[in-house]
Each structure stands twice: as C-alpha cells, then as structure tokens.
Amino acid sequence: MAHMCRILAYLGEPLPAQNLLFDTDNSLVRQSYSPRMMNTFLNLAGFGMKAWDPTSLRPEDPFSYRATTLPSFDRNLGFLSSKLAPTCMVAHVRGVTYSDEAVVADTNLHPFQFGGARVALTHNGHLRQFPRMRYALVDHVRPELAQRIEGTTDSEWIYALVLSQLDDPYRVPETRELADATAQALRILRSVRAANGIDTSSPVNLCLSTGSALVATRFSFDYGWYPPEDEMLETDLPFVSLWYAIGGEYAEHNGDWQMTAGDPPRSVIIASEPLTTDHSSWLEVPEYSMLTAELTPSGLEFETRDLDV
Amino acid sequence: MSDGSTAGFLATVPLLEGRSESDIADLARVLRRRAVPAGETLWRQGEEARELLLIVQGAVSASLHAPGGRVVEIGRAGPGEMVGEIALLDGGGHTMSVQATEPATVLALGKADFAALLARQDPATFSLKRRLASLFTARHREQLRHLAASLGGDVVDLPREVAARTFAELEYCGPPDSRYLRRMATFHDFDPAALWGFLTSGRYARCPPGRTLLAEGAPSKACYLTINGAVEKVLIRGDRRIRVGLAGPGKAFGYETLIDGLSSPVTAITRERSLLLVLPREPFDQLFHREDAISRVFLDVIQRDLVATLRQSLRPHARLAASV
C-alpha cells in the first residue's frame, strides 16, 4: 500500500504553531487538500504533530497531537495551535492511495515517537513492495523496538530502524550521531531491498527531530524506475519535493509571510512545499541530500550534504 | 508607434526571421506598445505571467531574489530581445524580477497570442521553435557562465576522455514498455503515432550509475533522453562539484552542442542506473530541421526541457546568493 504525504519541521525562535499550520497561503493544513507540488493525490488520511516548548512542563517532552480527522475541520487543532509557540516542531499530513486496502488509523499517523525515546520521525514517501522486505528488517531492528511497532506503515519500521542505529535509543543523540544513524538506516534499507530483488523507485524524504535539532533527507532509492502499471507512477515521476527557508524569524510583513534575514540564522523551516505561493524566500533542497540543523547558544548551525548511500 | 512601424521593428527581430509580411502585420496588431520609465519594475519574481515583452528601445535587467533579501542580477536584455517567455511557456510564476535600467519602449504579447503563435504547424512556426531553442540554449550557457564565475577555479579536463569512452561503449538494448512511456508526463500531449515516430528515431542504451556521459568543455556526441533513472548535470571546479540539474524520466541533456555547435556546458554523470534514448547527431539534425508531426514532438520536448532547465539552473544561483 503506497502513501505520499506532506511534512513540515521548524526549529528556531518561538513561533505560533498556527502560523505554520494555518496562516500562510500554502500552509501545511492547506497542503492536505490542495498540495501544489503533488500530482494526483491529496493528503486526507490524518494529521499529526510534535511540538517542543522550553517553557512548558517537562520541556524535553513535546506536545503530541494526532487525529484522523481532516485538519482543516479540526477545531481542537485550531485551538491548540493558536496557544502553542514552540521552538521546535515536526508535523505531517498523511496521504494514502484511494483503496479499501489503505489503513486509516491513529496508529499509522506520524510523527512516530516510541515512549521514552527522544527522537521523533516523519516520512514523505513510500517503500515500494514493502511487504516483501518487512520481515527481513527484523534482523536490523532491536527486538524491544520491533515489539513496539503498532501500525502498518513502512515509515514506523524506518523509525525503528533509525533508532536501532543509535548507541542508546532512549537518550537525546548528538546531531551528528542522529545524521549518521539515518544514513546507516538508509544503507540497510538499500541492502535489504537488493537482497529481496526490489529495484523500483522508493522516495524516502525523512524529517527527524530531538526538540533541539533536525535531520532531514531528500532521497529516493532507484529513482526513475517504476512498474508500468503502478498506481503512484505519475506522483513519483518528479523527485519528491523538499524545501527550506532559513534566516532570522518567520513573520508577516504587509500581508506577506517571509523568513527575515538573519546572520547568523536563528530559525529554519523545512517543508515538502514552501508555505507560501511566493517561493522567493525559500530554497529547494538538492535531490539526494541531507540537512542538519541544531540550536546552539551562538545561533542555528545548519549544514547540507550529499547523501550517497 | 503605428502598426506599420511596429511591423518594421518586428521584421528586424531575429527570433521572427522567416515570418511572412502578413504574419508580421497580424502580430503587430496584437502587440501593445508601452513606454517604461527607468527604474520601473515590470514584474516581480513569482508573479503570474500574463505577457512577454519585446524590447524596442532601452534596457531591462533580470534579477533573482534569494533568501535574506539578497538580489542577484542574472542578465540584461536590450533592443530586439525578449523577456518573460519562460513563465508563459511552463505556466509557472516569473522566474526573476525584471526592471527597466533606463527609459524603455516595449511591445507586450499576451499569453493567448503567444500560445497561438506557437500552435501553428507552418514552416515559420517550426523556424520560430528552432530559434527559441537556440535562444534558450544561449541563455542557459550564460546562466552557467555566471554560476561558474562565482565558483572560481578551472574546468577539470579528466571527464573528456571518460565521456568519449562511455559513448563508444554504450550498451544498446530494446525499447522500453510502451505502457510506461504513455504515462510519462513529458509525452501526455502528443499524438501517439508522432510520439512513437520520435521514440523510435534513436537507440536505447542502459548505463550503470556513476558513468560520465558528457564532459564540460568537450562537444557532446549525442542528445540523450532519460527514460528511467537519473543523470546529474554538474559543474566541477577543483574538488567542488555543483549540481545544476537532475535529468530524471522524460528529461533530456546533451543537446546544446547539437543545437549551437559549441561544447557541452556541463558534465553529465548517471546518478542511478539509467535507460536512455540516444540520438546521435544525424537523427538529431533530422528531427530538429524537419517540419513534420514527429519533428513537432521533438521540438516541443526540447523546448519544454530547456524551459525546465532554465528554471532549474537558477536553484544553485539562489543557494550561492543565500550562502546557506
């Protein structure tokens, strides 16, 4: 069962979640029913977010929210997002193929974060022929993490696989360690795909967060190769999109939402699509690359690198 | 400016060379003349495109707005030149902001009239499409020169021999599954018989990842169209490698040399194992210069690819300007 989604991540100055989710003319919630960079699919299978607020009780734990309700009709989400001003957030609207085989359920909603773990993950993409490789991944996932997989998605397995590459899945990893674990998880996926004869396009745009750092990938296995009758062909022909805006703060000026200049930068947004129809303050993440961002006392440290796995 | 003097000006525009007097007179009637004071912004990057402009007098500059409020001038245009056609052709927003750098006189051609001009199937329209391909190729080269200058360093010579060897050793194979080809966005709009004529004009070849197909600074031996997989187009300077484009399914590369006779402006390396349609010079020239339904498919594929390439190659400009 294939699925395509939209993801959003934010790290920086405290910012009302409402600004990111609702207020802009291509906000994440709008991308659920009117995505601009996605052919043939809408993202109607639910919404989820994790938001870290250092002024909240137990600041290391994020606010968690997920619902299979369409987010544009979700008043609770509207109320909540108008009161939250996180310094870090990851959010996701889920899209699945229009089929009675799709499982629209709370347990399949991103971001995934096992209890006690400090890392959350969202995924935009899908591993083609996942049922053929699912159980081969067991060998690469810590048993106690494999037991905690509740849903039916490939994404939750990717999450468990990334956590399994960390020295300790229950502490906050260094940004570099999380980036390396993510790259290692992709290498394992590549080898398991090869061992099972899977060689068709499988986009893996990931966004992982610890509350003080983000790691994101714009990546695909075997990009450009599809089964001829594949239902997701038209959606997958373009490389799955990912954009970022980096600077001082995300703010509205004269009706336009823009990332202000900031040197050194203090805030970054990473999203499947720019949150505004005007892209001039956004940059496209290069294909096959990884972004890392970390809040430090001297500002936001940000890096882009080629992802050759 | 009367229709007569507009027509007189249009007859001197290289892009319109070969148009009949009656064509030029028809065009003159639908163009709107406008005087633009120095400093006026004609449109902003991202705005919806409603018209293109032919510059009669004066000059305009095209600038890219990058994050952090930075602005980079990418090019200038003067008398006889055209601006704004990229967004009209691909339906996206304007790629750059355009501003008059001195008092200017322009002729505006609306979106529908431009589409009508390209929709005809007479020899003048084939000629116009070939001229557009040459114009866009020159513009793409200019963008890349600009980018290369900001990178510094010299072109690395090594890929030249490697690319020649790759071409000589290409592993040819049969055509791909037609069910797949029919679903590719690149080919949706074409008449099936003409499309098949185009798709059987060359040979298909498989290429493993990491293979250098084109070398910057060396002439390309063929035009390639990616059917499956992906090919990176890069500029290499010392140990720096900047990707200026990714040719995934339905995207072409290597045609610049075959259009203008100059060397390849980029190095092209397979990122994924790839299945390519290979059109060496002879079939390329036939498709480019003939005036039939198959050539129409080909010219449209090349035009769309150039338009997408021009848009895509602004990405590294923006990243460099933003320095993040």
State how many domains chain A has. 1
Q: Is the pLDDT of residue A88 over 80?
A: yes
For the beta carbon of residue A1, count every other beta carbon within 10 angstroms: 16
The string of pLDDT tens digits covering residues A21-62 is 999 999 999 988 888 877 667 888 899 999 999 999 999 999
pLDDT at residue B55, rounded to an integer: 96
**Mean pLDDT, to the nearest integer, of A251-277?**
92
pLDDT tens, B34-56?
999 999 999 998 889 999 999 99
The residues on B that touch A, with CB distances below 8 Å, are 45-46, 65-69, 93, 177, 179-180, 183-185, 226, 228-230, 243, 246, 248-250, 271-274, 315, 318-319, 322, 324
Note the pLDDT tens digit of each residue in B207-255: 999 999 999 999 999 999 999 999 999 999 888 888 999 999 999 999 9
* CATH number of the domain that residue A146 is part of: 3.60.20.10
Query: Residue B172 — pLDDT band, cuts 50, 70, 90?
Result: very high
Mean pLDDT check: name the lowest of A13-17, A122-126, A254-258, B13-17.
Answer: B13-17
Domains and CATH numbers, chain B: 3-119 (2.60.120.10), 134-322 (2.60.120.10)
Instruction: Determine phi and psi for B240, rounding to 5 degrees.
Output: -95, 140
Phi, psi of A292, rounded to the nearest 5 degrees:
-130, 140
- Chain-chain contact of B230 with A223 (C-beta, under 8 angstroms): yes
Neighbouring C-beta atoms of residue A7, cutoff 10 Å? 27
> How many beta-carbon pairs below 8 A join chains A and B?
84
pLDDT at B86 over 70: yes
Burial class (CB in 10 A: 0-12, 13-18, 19+), A230: middle
What is the crossing angle of helices B192-199 and B293-312, to 10°?
Answer: 70
Work out the end-to-end distance of chain B between its first and last CA atoms, rounded to an integer number of angstroms: 48
| CA A139/CA B161 separation, integer angstroms | 45
For chain A, give the number of residues. 309
What pLDDT, on the 0 to 100 scale, is given for residue A33? 83
Reduced to 3 states, what is the DSSP secondary structure of residue A206? strand
Q: What is the pLDDT of residues B250-304, one digit of tens each?
A: 999 999 999 999 999 999 999 999 999 999 999 999 999 999 999 998 999 999 9
Smallest CA–CA distance from B179 into chain A, residue: A228
Beta carbons within 8 Å of A251's beta carbon, 6+ residues apart: A257, A258, A260
Alpha-carbon distance of B277 to B238, in angstroms, equals 31
Please give the residue range of the domain that contains residue A120.
3-306
CB contact under 8 A, B249 and A224: yes
Query: What is the per-residue pLDDT for B61?
Result: 96
pLDDT tens-digit profile of A180-201? 999 999 999 999 999 999 999 9
CA A137, A139, A140, A142 dihedral sign is positive
Chain A CB contacts of B248 below 8 Å: 223-224, 237-239
Q: Is the pTM of this model over 0.90?
A: yes
Residues in A closer than 8 angstroms to B68, CB to CB, are 247, 259, 261-263, 281
Nearest beta carbon to residue B272 from set A224, A245, A286? A224
Q: What is the pLDDT of residue B121?
A: 85
| B61-B64-B67-B71 Cα dihedral, nearest 10 degrees | -20
Sorted by sequence, the CB contacts under 8 Å of residue A165 that are 6+ apart come out as A180, A181, A182, A184, A185, A188
Q: What is the mean pLDDT of residues A78-97?
A: 94
Alpha carbons within 13 angstroms on the beta-carbon side of residue A22 total: 16
* Measured distance CA(A261)–CA(A276) in Å, rounded: 17
Residue A206 CA to residue A155 CA, distance in Å, equals: 9
* Chain A residue numbers touching B271 (CB-CB < 8 A): 223, 288
- ipTM, two decimals, is 0.90
Tell me which chain A residues have a C-beta less than 8 angstroms from the C-beta of B229.
223-225
**DSSP string computed for A32-71:** HH--SS-SS----S-EEEEEE-TTSSSTTSPEEEEESS-G
pLDDT for B215: 93
